[in-house]
Chain A
């Protein structure tokens, strides 16, 4: 197995790419790429993820800066939400004529 240190030396750092498809929407995670610095990451993201008119704005974030939940934490993190129906807004009477709610 290649150690983390030698991998760092042989490859540029990893960046996560977020693309906003149009004004008013949020940036969505599009994928990741390697780049030597932030500006290069932005250029590579442009070339890899917006070649077919997919976006109007790009964010790049060093992958090392992402703090992720671990698969081991899945039960304590997410299971308790499953049986709490009162957290969903399903107990309100909708007034007549209200649409798009």
Chain B
């Protein structure tokens, strides 16, 4: 797979895995309305994943479509960042993940909407609007929990501390981002990301964790143990009934 295809693939994998994790909240969210909100966000992410995986298949030129790429790859062939595959944890952990990831996605998509690739730019322009909403949703929850009760503050701070190390991988350039013709340099997104996320943390009366441990490997296919179960659940139907449709 060439660098352009691999770049589109990892963007799609980020969205796909984030959607799959998020949908695990379905029927478990604290309120019915919140259930619908999370499912909506997951549906946005799934739509981004479909478009990006289809693009990756075209760039690869080997006849694989979005379903082949989503359902028939092994764990180690996925290039999503570790952040999106982490277990949902409690609602605070999911909120921290959603905040860090949606701000990253929003900045990335806004930058990608200006690249000289009409299909990718089109996908990114639509996704930039969707993720602007995801950011607001996550930020409202971060502030509500962080600046809420003692218990919600304690949990939200613990969640931010737990998830923070995984944000570093989002901004680490590698051979794919360097070689792909239409890639945005992820390191260049970091200052804006930090500014926006830190503003939310301040409003939420949360402490910004120190930078230190920076786990990575997701981009290269080295995933966490939890990821295997996620992929298994996501692919089981398609593997049991190849080509199954609604």
Could you list which residues of chain A lie within 8 angstroms of chain B, going by C-beta atoms? 11-12, 33-36, 39-40, 43-44, 46-48, 51
Contact = CB atoms under 8 A, between A and B. Distances in A.
A76 to B, nearest CB: 38
Interface in B13-51: 31-34, 36-37, 40
A48 B32 CA distance: 10
A21 B106 CA distance: 28
A12 B140 CA distance: 16
Contacts of B36: 44, 47-48
Contacts of A39: 140
B33 A33 contact: yes
Contacts of B144: 36
Contact of B137 (A34, A43, A51): A43
Nearest to B39: A47
Contacts of A34: 31-33
- Determine chain B's interface SS by DSSP, over half rule: helix
B59 to A, nearest CB: 31
A87 B140 CA distance: 51
A37 to B, nearest CB: 8
Nearest to B144: A36
A44 B133 CA distance: 12
A65 B83 CA distance: 43
B40 A44 contact: no
A44 B37 contact: yes
Among A40, A47, A51, max chain B CB count under 10 A is at A47
A40 B140 contact: yes
Given A12-B33, A33-B33, A34-B31, 16 more contacts: A12-B31, A34-B32, A34-B33, A36-B144, A40-B140, A43-B37, A43-B136, A43-B137, A44-B34, A44-B37, A46-B133, A47-B36, A47-B37, A48-B33, A48-B36, A51-B40
Among A34, A35, A44, max chain B CB count under 10 A is at A44
Contacts of B40: 47, 51
Interface string B111-144: 0000000000000000000000100110010001
A40 B140 CA distance: 8
A21 B197 CA distance: 34
A12 to B, nearest CB: 6
A36 B149 CA distance: 14
Nearest to B30: A12
B43 to A, nearest CB: 9
A44 B38 CA distance: 10
A33 B35 CA distance: 12
Contacts of A40: 140
A60 to B, nearest CB: 12
Nearest to B43: A51
Contacts of A43: 37, 136-137, 140
Contacts of B37: 43-44, 47
A47 B33 contact: yes
A11 B226 CA distance: 33
Contacts of B32: 34
Contacts of B136: 43
